Amino acid sequence: MSDQSRFMLIVSPLMEHSPAFDRAAALAKASDAALHIVAFDYLEGLATAGMVNEQALEQMRTGYVERHRQWLEDQARPLRKIGVHVTTEVVWVERPLKEILIHLREQPMTVLIKALEHEALLSRLMFTPLDIHLLRECQVPLHFVNRLHNVLPRRIVAAVDPFHCDDQYQALNDRILHEAAKLASVCSAELDVIYAHDLSSVSADEFGFSNGSAFFSTTKAKTLFDAQADTFRDLCERNGIPSERQHMIMGNPAKVLSSYANAYETDVIVMGRVGHRGIERLIGSTVEHLLYKLPCSVWVVSPEVF
């Protein structure tokens, strides 16, 4: 077991069977990986019930946790019958982020799998959801399961940004393609690579022009496009991606990836994220912009040194 990959699935405290269950089970079976299912329970009404004494309240909490533990075991039993090594755990905690990160430090995982929790825009503006906190702080790959075309992914897209002056991006792009190729191999899935380049976001000062119109009125724009194409081609060839699977598409990355995923019934988009610096065109912020918009699931890769 020491050499076996381990996946961690975070489930809802409401004892609901989400598509994330099916995706995690399918990936664990295909990867011959162990699956650890964890529920971080906290029910506001139960936690703050003022009509009973503390001893009775503790008994209620303990009873709920035990019922959830038994429910998880019921979900795990069919998976064990098909050969997946499954363990379950229930933790009562109000704010699960810290506990999740502690779990990942104490029990290293290959990937963290979780159903995407759709939050209203106003709610996201006022309170940072757990999913966004995980994007920013979790160091292992994250698989946010949205809707399923196929339980086991059949069409995978890797989204890269190879044309950036920061060396951190070059290493991250290779890491994205490595993770995407590994996932595609396990699932016997098709893998395409997309570079969505948006010249409208180019800083004129970055290229020595006083304004953007001066940049686009010269041959510099074509020179930049050709340089981007060469860099993208080199990245793909270095990672063994055939030319017919390379797609360089002009446009806003969020719109390009969303449209492509819709048109080709993509199962998973593999993306990268880096440190947040407040610049919307960076890879990391693109993930947050897309998380609630994509019609498919997302696999997020972080740099090796975070």
Looking at residue 248, which CATH number applies to its domain?
Answer: 3.40.50.620
Looking at the structure, do residues 159 and 295 belong to the same domain, yes or no? yes
Say whether both 160 and 32 belong to one domain. Answer: no
Please indicate, yes or no, whether residues 109 and 172 belong to a single structural domain of this protein: no
Q: Taking Cα atoms as reference points, which of 218, 232, 221, 230 lies closest to residue 199?
A: 221
> Which of 115, 147, 168 is the last residue before a domain boundary?
115
For residues 60-87, one letter each, b for 16 or more C-beta atoms within 10 angstroms of the residue's C-beta and e for the rest, the string is ebeebbeebeebbeebbeebeeeebbbe
| Residues 257 and 196 reside in one and the same domain | yes
Domain hosting 19: range is 6-115
CB 244 within 8 A of CB 193: no
Question: End of a domain among 115, 142, 166?
Answer: 115
- The answer to whether position 142 is within a domain reads no
Q: Decide if 101 is inside a domain.
A: yes
Same domain, 159 and 297: yes
CA angle 17, 19, 24 (to 5 degrees): 100
Claim to verify: residue 83 and residue 177 sit in the same structural domain: no
Q: Are 165 and 34 part of one and the same domain?
A: no
- Same-domain pairing of 290 and 168: yes
Is 297 inside any structural domain? yes
Percent of the chain with pLDDT over 90: 50
Are 97 and 233 in a shared domain?
no
Cα–Cα separations (whole angstroms), residue 239 to 29, 50, 177, 198: 26, 60, 7, 23
User: Is 111 found in the same domain as 159?
Assistant: no
Question: What is the pTM (predicted TM-score) of this model?
Answer: 0.85
Q: How far is CA 207 from the centre of its chain?
A: 33
pLDDT at 174 over 50: yes
Lowest mean pLDDT among 135-149, 195-209, 289-303: 195-209
Point out the domain boundary residue: 95, 115, 135. Answer: 115
Is 273 within 8 Å of 300 (Cβ atoms)? yes
Does residue 137 form part of some domain?
A: no
Residue 134 lies in a domain: no
Residues 111 and 160 in one domain: no
Q: Which two tokens stand for residue 109?
A: 């995982």
Q: Is residue 63 very low, low, confident or very high in pLDDT (cuts 50, 70, 90)? A: confident
Q: How confident is the model at residue 223 (pLDDT cuts 50, 70, 90)?
A: confident
**Residue 306 pLDDT grade (very low, low, confident, very high; cuts 50, 70, 90):** very low
Structural domains counted in the chain: 2
Q: Do the domain assignments include residue 29?
A: yes
Per the domain annotation, does 145 fall within a domain?
no
Q: How far apart are CA 44 and CA 33, in angstroms?
A: 35
Q: Is the pLDDT of residue 296 over 70?
A: yes
The answer to the question of residue 129 being in a domain is: no
Same domain (yes/no): 206, 82: no
CA-to-CA distance for 75 and 39, rounded, in angstroms?
12
The pLDDT of residue 13 is above 60: yes
| pLDDT greater than 80 at residue 46 | no
29 in Cβ contact with 76 (< 8 Å): no
In the chain, the percentage of residues whose pLDDT exceeds 70 is 78
